Structure 1
Amino acid sequence: MKNSVRERRDDAGLSQADLAAAVGVTRQTINAIERDRYDPSIELAFKLARHFDCRIEDLFDPDFDVEDA
């Protein structure tokens, strides 16, 4: 799943560790999300969206056609 977590984190001037602490996960989890190696739980997706004051859809793109769903 494509995401804009890294761009938003960079824009906010946060390190991966800072963001991880803010949403209650490890730095490694943030790294894996940013590298598209891990899809966050819905709970974590909501926490990230809340932290960046945006919608989940603004952070994550499932990268599939509606017809495929």
Structure 2
Amino acid sequence: MTGDVQLIKPKKLKARIEELDLKQVELSKQFNVSTQTFNGWVKGRITPSLETAFKLSKILDCQIEDIFEYIED
């Protein structure tokens, strides 16, 4: 088990960010990543670490399962 998560609900993630009126550039600063990396998470092209996924769900005040699904290798 590698501890990776698979973003399979990018539309839900984007909608939640917009619903809370958050800006991706500000969120990327909170995670100490580039805006390109954060945008990759939102579009489902880049998978964050499990720790980051939990932190993101906490910041977005949602369950991790709302935006991520764990997939075993």
Q: TM-score, normalised by structure 2?
A: 0.71
1:15 positional shift: 1.6
Q: Which runs of 5+ in 2 are unaligned?
A: 1-6
Q: Which runs of 5+ in 1 are unaligned?
A: none
Structure 1 contact 16–27 (Cα < 8 Å) conserved: yes
Query: Aligned residue pairs: how many?
Result: 65
Structure 1 contact 23–51 (Cα < 8 Å) conserved: no
Which one-letter code corresponds to 2:43 in the other structure? Answer: R
Which one-letter code corresponds to 2:26 in the other structure? Answer: D
Superposition CA RMSD, Å: 2.1
The 3-state SS of whatever aligns with 1:13 is: coil
Match status 1:38 vs 2:32: no
The higher relative CO (CA closer than 8 Å, separation ≥ 6) is in 2
The 3-state SS of whatever aligns with 1:2 is: coil
In the TM superposition, structure 1's runs of 4+ consecutive aligned residues that sit over 6 Å from their partners are none
Q: Percent identical across equivalent pairs?
A: 34
Structure 1 contact 8–52 (Cα < 8 Å) conserved: yes
